[in-house]
Structure formats: C-alpha cells, structure tokens
A = this chain, B = another copy of it.
C-alpha cells in the first residue's frame, strides 16, 4: 500500500508522540531510580534489618528451632515494612546437628587443633579415630593417588584458597570440601580433614556442605583452620609419620519443614509479571549469619520497602524471596523453581544477593543477546551508585541459578568480595564485619534494579545459550 501524505504525516506524528512518551517514561524511570538511590544511601534501614536479624535471631541452621524463629522474624519484619503481601511456602529440609568436633596431633608433636565438622558429615566412633595423616595439595592429587597410600589413613587436603575481588578462589578449592570425602573413601581413607576454604589466617575453621555418594563408604569430614593446616604441613616436613586423633559427634536426623518467606509489592499494570530479588534466610550455626546472608536479607528487604513506599507503584510486581536452606544445597531455590514452575514464564528477571556486604561494582545480565545493550542502557542510572555495566554471562546468584534453565533472565549485581572468604562459614560471620555505608549502597542498587526492571519495556527473552 502506498501511503498518502496525510497517512504519512499522521504516522510520523504518532511515532513522534510515542517517542516523546517513551522519553518521558524514561525520564520518569531515571528520576525515580535516582530518588530510590538517594533514599537508600541516606537510610540506615538495611543495617537496622541485619542488626535485628543477627541480634534477635542469630545463627539459624536450616531445620533447627532457630530456623523457624528466623521465619517468624522474617514474616513480622516484612509485614512491618509495608509490603502488599507476605506469605511463606513450606520446604522440606534435612536436619543435621553439629555436635562436637575435636582433633589433636598425637605424634610426633602432641598439639591440639581447631577444626569444625563439615555440614552433613557423619560422626566418628565415640572414642574417635586415630590414624596417620596423608597429605595432598589438591583434590585432583588425591584422585590420582594410589589407594595403598590412602587406605587406613586420615586424608588431609592442603589446597589454598587464593584471594580475588570476584571471590573466584572459592570455586578453585571448594570441590575438596564438597567431594573430598567421596574421593578419600573410594581409596580407603578413614576420615578427611581439609584446609578450610577461606582466605584468612584466623584460627577458625570454615564449615560448609559436603556430600556422600551412594555405593561409597561414608567417612567423617572436617575442616581445620589455615594456621592448623600450616602446622601439620610443617610437622610433615620434619616427620612423614604424623598421627591425628579425631572425635566428631554430628548427627543426621531426617527432615523437617522450613519455609521460603515471600513478600510482594503488587505491580500497578502487570501484576502477574514478576521481578524477583532474593537472598537466603538460613545461615550456618557458628557465626550470627551477618554476611552470609543477613546482609542479603537486609539488602533485598530494604530495596523492596523503598519501592513499596513509592507514591506510584511500578508496572510489574516486585517479589522479595527469602529462601530456605541455601546452605544445605540450594534447597529453597530448587523448591521455589519447582513450586512456581507454571509461573516462571511470567518471571521477567531475577537476582539474588548472597555475597556479603561489599560494594556492588558491576551489573551482569543473562538476557537475550539482542536485548543486552538495551537493558544496559535502561539500568545506566545505576552508574551514579558505582555500578558499572558488565557482561551477559550472569548466573544470578545461588538460589536463582536454576531459573535460566527455565528460560528466566537473571542478573548478578557483583560485589567486592575481597574479604568475604575471610569470614564465610566461621564464627567470625558477625555484624561488625558489615560496613553500613556499603550495605546501603547495595540496597540502593537493588532498589534501582528492581524498580527499573519492573518498569522496563525491553523483551529480555529468549535467553541466548551460553558456551560452557
């Protein structure tokens, strides 16, 4: 069809009007984003939330009594902060009790050690295990060892976790924690005690989840502090025959009910479309769970509150999810994906805060390649808050990492994790490790992100398959 001059003029007029509207909408979005940023940076709300959680609840191992107290705390806190809906969804979680863990070197130089049981580990016999230590520098070295070196011994993996801003050193060693007991048992070891997965030199051991494998003997698994690993390594240089005594009494006690706790700011025009910002409510039991993941709970809760208080609600629903039992294997995240499967097509984007309280320096996405530049432009007002544009290879965070498998776009708001693995999973995970200003910067970034995503006109799907 040939356009008449009138039609052409009319089309141009309406196109112009639309552009103008879009520009106005963009201006409004950026202006609200800036307002959210200013409000969050000036507020102590996020710190008040993590203080409340760590002081009034403290450690909250999934499946424990304190875990349920944390759930009550979360419902009450979210309700008090003006969300439209607050509800919880039951999740079955394993019950593991830490018990006691003691170790010492028997010979050649009797010395006590500082250790902790790894999560899920079985105990030793009541009178413990005494056996020579066999040291490996890595999990791979253990896997390559001749079983005759390992049988009847206590395996010691002496891997060292290097420090990076991104925290990637954790990924380089955590396999020894999660799969070391399987590899050691396959070669006949009696127990495994690893150098803690941590970048510190504190005499504290770092706990964390480990796994067994069907058909392979279950052996006790523990971590020792970095100074203790140094000590044993220096003993082994003097005498290859170092004997350790190990006593541990953890117990696996079946399953209990925990909950994902959810709160929403209902969208004004697309209430069935979801922008999900999450964190995990559970923690390990030795610190007070301030950085892992009280900080995340505080960040996404405060961000949701700032959006709930806006005079005009955003188009999409902003959903804050406080996941259950992340530490025990992303159990709340997996449960959420399963229970909400029918709704996942309506999840516009998701992100989880689970890397402490260090400042966010970059935002990465996992969206359709064709949408990446547009979504970067749409979130560019976050740069004022120190958040630079990043790449399109985000995982989104532990509990949302399964969502891209269902086609859900995700974002990773990258935090400076230089000191995160100094404290992670130790008694040192306490409130004093959080810088209130850095926490407020995080809350500002999540508020900006959630609001801008809830207002976005960009089609983020389908995800572009990523090279492995």
Contacts and interface: CB of A to CB of B under 8 A. Distances in A.
Contacts of A432: 201, 226-227, 230
Interface of A: 51, 54-59, 66, 109-112, 114, 201-204, 226-227, 230-231, 234-235, 238, 287-288, 426-428, 430-433
15 contacts: A55-B238, A56-B109, A57-B109, A58-B109, A58-B112, A66-B110, A114-B427, A202-B202, A203-B204, A203-B427, A203-B430, A227-B288, A227-B432, A231-B288, A231-B431
Contacts of A56: 109, 238
A99 to B, nearest CB: 14
Contact of A59 (B57, B111, B433): B111
A29 B59 CA distance: 62
Given A55-B235, A112-B59, A431 B203 contact: no
Given A227-B430, A230-B432, A432-B227, A111 B58 contact: yes
A230 B114 contact: no
Given A203-B204, A204-B203, A230 B431 contact: yes
Contact of A55 (B55, B114, B201, B234): B234
Contacts of A431: 227, 230-231, 234
A204 B204 CA distance: 9
Nearest to A112: B59
Contacts of A110: 58, 66
Given A227-B288, A234-B431, 4 more contacts: A55-B235, A58-B112, A66-B110, A226-B432
A312 B327 CA distance: 66
A182 to B, nearest CB: 30
Residue picked from A59, A202, A427, most chain B C-beta under 10 Å: A202
Q: Which 4 pairs of residues, A with B, have the shortest CB-CB distance? A: A227-B430, A203-B427, A58-B111, A55-B234
Contacts of A203: 204, 287, 426-428, 430
Residue picked from A114, A203, A234, most chain B C-beta under 10 Å: A203
Contacts of A109: 55-58
Contacts of A201: 430, 432-433
A414 B465 CA distance: 63
Contacts of A234: 51, 55, 431
Contacts of A66: 110
Contacts of A202: 202, 204, 428
Contacts of A55: 109, 231, 234-235, 238
A57 B235 CA distance: 11
A287 B227 CA distance: 10
Residue picked from A66, A231, A238, A287, most chain B C-beta under 10 Å: A231
A167 to B, nearest CB: 21
